[in-house]
Amino acid sequence: MTPDFIQKAIAICDDKIAKKGEGVGLSFYAFFKNRNDDPALLMQVAQWWIQTHELDHFEKAVKIREMLISDV
């Protein structure tokens, strides 16, 4: 994942947390628009989420944000 994408994903986590609280969950699809305009990036994120970290479909946004920050 590119540093720009990681920063975008962190911002999305921050937004979700601000709107719905610390207990809000999300999936990696939250980082993409409904239309898949970058399948290669989607696959990179899916690999990071599913294969690398073996995360459940929904995870706490706080947890994901911390993981992304440590990847920067």
The pLDDT tens digits of the residues spanning 15-29 come to 999 999 999 999 999
Q: Tokens for 20?
A: 């719905």
**Where are the domains positioned within the chain?**
3-71
Of the pLDDT bands very low, low, confident and very high (cuts 50, 70, 90), residue 34 is confident
pLDDT at res. 1: 85
pLDDT at res. 70: 93
Distance separating the N- and C-terminal Cα atoms of the chain = 10
CB 10 within 8 A of CB 65: yes
Q: What is the mean pLDDT of residues 34-56?
A: 91
pLDDT at res. 16: 97
